[in-house]
């Protein structure tokens, strides 16, 4: 008998844990049914819980194409945000700069096949593979040569992950094959964590179709995942991939219609990392503005983009996340003209500092540049610059001012003029965002309320 729907409650529990309506789940198994009330699914499908039933083992759910039905709870796992961002590691066996003696202490008591990798102390730029074998530790120099890594100058590898994977399968001249990694204290293997929290995708189901962007980290490609068009960041380098793992873990915790949505992560044994997100057909907002211009885009459209971004930032503000790199280049436009904030590479939980050498000077608030203090209020400053970009149709901020003069002039109170045709009420918001004292700047919530007022009263016309 099919379960009876209990509409009185939208919070229910599996194994004692409450699942509220809107909870995302990932299918652990295939579920086929001839019952019309049930919702069939395949392993790996993402389902959204929409209600409880009177049977505690069954729930109402919706799939990604909008079909609804009942599902068995023990066939799915709840998708959770990955919380251990800084501790996630693609290479939990990599211990960085430690000495030969420290490595030998870490590999004690001896256990054949126990291993770690460290930076070479004698040969800067090279690495050392340390392996416990028959009661003693062998140290193998990993030579970095012409962009590749090798131990014996016969087999060459793109990165450390490929090298470790090779010697895990075959000793190939080492004293033993690598059997058990000695994990660096406090790290969590990224692949395990993404699987545990329901974000690991199956590489076999991802087809890479064409490259749409190239960066120093790797390529951005259009792909197909189970019949859905997706965007894929393909990262091949050890250190870069490690930074992108942190970005992906932040994205698992964020869900809003104006944020680019993470669909999942693929960590390959051979060291490639794929971050799969929704596909945004119209590209970056800055390119969209420049290519369409004022003949195509009216004031209502510019205000809508401003509100889209503001709503995403209000959500980040409410959840205590600081973006730190808000700019029109990091906002993408969907096929149906929704602007969504992307590029969470620098996003951190609030109140942290970072190296300012790589910061985009024209978008970054004075206190963030001067004291490395990042907050929602430094994001508000950047939002003011982004508003200026929107209303100037993608011009570069501070036109005709040499880059080295921007900061001194801004710190003396200089503010850019309003872009041609910008409504005074919108320019007024920009200037409020550029208040030198961060405490006086409006919150994103206040900005969103003001933008909604401008739209309701049609003050942008």
Q: How far apart are CA 129 and CA 126, in angstroms?
A: 10
Pick the residue with more confidence: 359 or 411? 411
For residue 16, pLDDT over 70 is answered with no
Which CATH number covers residue 405? Answer: 1.10.510.10
Mean pLDDT on 268-286: 89
Residue 89 lies in a domain: no
Domain extent, residue 37, equals 23-78
User: ∠ CA 434-437-442 to the nearest 5 degrees?
Assistant: 60
Same-domain check for residues 442 and 312: yes
Same-domain check for residues 295 and 441: yes
Q: Tell me which residue of 186, 207, 227 sits closest to 42, measured CA to CA.
A: 227
Residue 111 lies in a domain: yes
Mean pLDDT on 231-254: 84
Cα–Cα separations (whole angstroms), residue 181 to 93, 402, 411: 5, 52, 52
Residue 105 lies in a domain: yes
Query: Which listed residue (45, 308, 325, 379) is catalytic?
Result: 325
Same-domain check for residues 341 and 246: no
What's the total number of domains in the chain?
4
Is 233 flagged in the annotation as binding? yes
Percent of the chain with pLDDT over 70: 91
Res 348: pLDDT? 65
Is 325 a residue of the active site?
A: yes
For residue 458, pLDDT over 90 is answered with no
- 308, 312, 313, 317: CA torsion to nearest 10: 150
Same-domain check for residues 386 and 293: yes
Which CATH number covers residue 174? Answer: 3.30.505.10
pTM for the full predicted model: 0.83
Q: How far apart are CA 148 and CA 274, in angstroms?
A: 21
Res 12: pLDDT? 42
């Amino acid at each position: 008998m099919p379960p009876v729907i209990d509409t009185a409650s939208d919070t229910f529990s599996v194994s004692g844990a409450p699942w509220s309506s809107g909870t995302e789940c990932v299918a652990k198994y295939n579920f086929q049914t001839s019952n019309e009330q049930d919702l069939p699914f395949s392993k790996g499908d993402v389902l959204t819980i929409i209600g409880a039933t009177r049977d505690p083992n069954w729930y109402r759910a919706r799939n990604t194409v909008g079909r609804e039905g009942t599902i068995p709870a023990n066939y799915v796992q709840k998708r959770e945000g990955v919380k251990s961002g800084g501790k996630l590691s693609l290479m939990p066996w990599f211990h960085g700069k430690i000495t030969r003696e420290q490595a030998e202490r870490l590999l004690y008591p001896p256990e054949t096949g126990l291993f770690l990798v460290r930076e070479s102390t004698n040969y800067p730029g090279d690495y050392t593979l340390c392996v416990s074998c028959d009661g003693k530790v062998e140290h193998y120099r990993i030579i970095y040569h012409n962009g590749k890594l090798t131990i014996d100058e016969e087999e060459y590898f793109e990165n450390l992950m490929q090298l470790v994977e090779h010697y895990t399968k075959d000793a190939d001249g080492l004293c033993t094959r690598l059997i058990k990694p000695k994990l660096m204290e406090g790290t969590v293997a990224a692949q395990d964590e993404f699987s545990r929290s329901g974000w690991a995708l199956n590489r076999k189901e991802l087809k890479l179709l064409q490259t749409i962007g190239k960066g120093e980290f790797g390529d951005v490609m259009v792909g197909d995942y189970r019949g859905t068009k997706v965007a894929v960041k393909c990262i091949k380098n050890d250190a870069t991939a490690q930074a992108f793992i942190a970005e992906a873990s932040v994205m698992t915790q964020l869900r809003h219609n104006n944020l680019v949505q993470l669909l999942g992560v693929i960590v390959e044994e051979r060291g490639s990392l794929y971050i799969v997100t929704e596909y945004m057909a119209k590209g970056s907002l800055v390119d969209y503005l420049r290519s369409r211009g004022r003949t195509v885009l009216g004031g209502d459209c510019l205000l809508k983009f401003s509100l889209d971004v503001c709503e995403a930032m209000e959500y980040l503000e409410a959840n205590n996340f600081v973006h730190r790199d808000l700019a029109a280049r990091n906002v993408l436009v969907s096929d149906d003209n929704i602007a969504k904030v992307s590029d969470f590479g620098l996003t951190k939980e609030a109140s942290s500092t970072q190296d300012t050498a790589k910061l985009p000077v024209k978008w970054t608030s004075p206190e963030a540049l001067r004291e490395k203090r990042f907050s929602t209020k430094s994001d508000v400053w950047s939002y003011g610059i982004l508003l200026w970009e929107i209303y100037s149709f993608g011009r570069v901020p501070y036109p005709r001012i040499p880059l080295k003069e921007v900061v001194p002039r801004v710190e003396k109170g200089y503010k850019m003029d309003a872009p041609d045709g910008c409504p005074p009420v919108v320019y007024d918001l920009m200037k409020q965002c550029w208040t030198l004292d961060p405490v006086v700047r409006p919150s994103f919530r206040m900005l969103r309320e003001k933008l909604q007022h401008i739209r309701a009263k049609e003050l942008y016309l």
